[in-house]
Amino acid sequence: MAIDFPSNPILGQSFTSDGAVYTWNGYAWTGGLPISLATPGVSGLMPGADKTKLDGIQPGATANLANSALLARANHTGTQLAATISDFNAAVAAAGGGGGGGGMTDAQLLARANHTGTQVAATISDLTSAVNAIVGSGGGGMSDAALLARANHTGTQLAATISDFAAAVAALGGAGMTEAAITKLYGLLTPFMSTTIAGGNGATNDSPSIQEKINAVVAKGRGTVFLPPGRFRIDNRLSVANSSLRLQGAGVEQTFLEVPASNTVGAIAFTANDKPGGSPYLFEVCDLSIVAVGNGPHGTAIDARWASPNQLNPGLTNLKINNVNVRSETYVAGPGWPTWTNGVYVQNAAWTNIDNLTVFAVDSSGTIGVNLDYPMNSSAFGIMINKLNHNGGGAGVRSRGWMETLYLTNSLIVGSTIGVDLDARSTPYGNMQFAMNNTHINAKNMNVYAYNWRALAFNNNSIYSGLGHGIDQEGAVRAARFLQAHLPS
């Protein structure tokens, strides 16, 4: 009897047998099968029925657990779709106490007191009407009139939110305030006053607009005029009379007062008469440059005078100049040069403090850096000049008349005919004291000239005699000290 074997899964061939002769792949032989049938203990050929059964087993199937164990849900892993659970909806409803919620009743679920988290305002149908009903159109029960009343407002607000803040401050002008209070408020007031000054492009005459603000301060007796960054053309000299005023710029390289050739008197003049009682006047110029533009003389950059000196009733008592640059613009074709007569002229101020002043003139025609003029009966109790940088042909510091003390420190004076010119011959008793410290002078004819001073003190200076004299003393010099004075030949 012939036996047909299926294709061998390993050899990929088939063979037949009639019981005696075996044929495989075209070869015939006798003597039995070349490969025995497989048994549980011996590998061999697999009958077709066993192969069919084996192919029907899914990958990953196991025969280690009994059917009952495989069917038990407690042994199942992973997840299943809710749709495969026949009574899913009924079971959930029953577990949630009739409507869901983990054992909570529908009434408990609907109660807002039990709700958690937040919701969008748009989901509240009567939000607007409810809020209005509770607070009466806003304010937690307060009426609109009570909410609008500024007396009920709390906290602070920005000055920028007050529409007329600058005008109100300018109108106040410091009336009734002490000098200390004005100084304390200065940092707050000046930024808002900067908006009151128009112009600043150098193309139009800015004198009228600046003078208008100065007049407003004068009307109040004291205050600050702030000049923001820009170039302000001063066709007409600015004037301040009998008032305390600070003219404040934004910096020597930001705020420029440009004096054209048509203005031959200067940039700003301050005058004061005797002030009966009360605090003295205070005049300040700070953080700006004053520039002579165009050929020819331009007068005095800063002119401060006490018109009728009275030693017992001082008028212009305090003068302060801080961080100011006085210079000439570059020469343009034509006759002459842009020149200044004086950088600063002071007459009869009781106290003068000049700190960080530069006076530079293009020519050498005789521009004086600081010119101090004190006729008899005036009262110069103290004059302090610190960080003067002068190059202008005339004296760096020139004094005439009576004064008690004059100090010059940390300064540089070059190109002058006389570096420091101190002539007190008009005072019968002689001036008290002049002291010069940490200063370098390189003058053309004479570095320091002192006439009729009682005491001269020099400390740590560098004085180059050049073609003229180092230090000359004349008249009733009562005593003199020269400490570490350097006089090269």
pLDDT score for 335: 57
- Looking at per-residue pLDDT, the higher value among 141 and 392 belongs to 392
Are 342 and 200 in the same domain? yes
Are 178 and 141 in the same domain? no
Q: What is the mean pLDDT of residues 479-487?
A: 34
- Looking at per-residue pLDDT, the higher value among 308 and 192 belongs to 308
The pLDDT tens digits of the residues spanning 436-474 come to 999 999 888 888 888 888 888 888 888 775 544 555 555
pLDDT score for 373: 87
- The closest alpha carbon to 257, from 295, 296, 298, belongs to 298
Torsion angles phi and psi, residue 197, rounded to 5:
-100, 120
- Looking at per-residue pLDDT, the higher value among 473 and 296 belongs to 296
Phi/psi-derived region of residue 366, left when phi > 0, alpha when psi is between -120 and 50, beta in every other case: left
pLDDT at position 23 over 70: no
Are 287 and 144 in the same domain? no
Are 134 and 232 in the same domain? no
Residue ranges in 176-321 assigned as alpha helix (H): 179-193, 207-220
The pLDDT tens digits of the residues spanning 415-443 come to 888 899 988 877 776 677 889 999 999 88
Are 28 and 173 in the same domain? no
Strands (E), 141-278: 201-205, 222-226, 230-233, 238-241, 244-248, 255-259, 266-272
Q: What is the mean pLDDT of residues 269-290?
A: 79
Instruction: Of 230-234, 342-346, 430-434, give the lowest mean pLDDT range.
Output: 430-434
| 202: confidence class by pLDDT, cuts 50, 70, 90 | confident
Amino acid at 467: L
Are 369 and 230 in the same domain? yes
User: What is the total count of domains within the chain?
Assistant: 3
Are 241 and 131 in the same domain? no
pLDDT at position 356 over 60: yes
The pLDDT tens digits of the residues spanning 234-264 come to 999 999 988 888 898 889 998 999 999 899 9
Q: What is the mean pLDDT of residues 330-356?
A: 79
* Full residue range of the structural domain in which residue 351 is found: 163-394
Q: What is the mean pLDDT of residues 77-87?
A: 86
| Calpha distance 287→249 (Å, rounded) | 5
**Quick check: is 186 in a domain?**
yes
- Looking at per-residue pLDDT, the higher value among 159 and 212 belongs to 212
pLDDT score for 107: 80
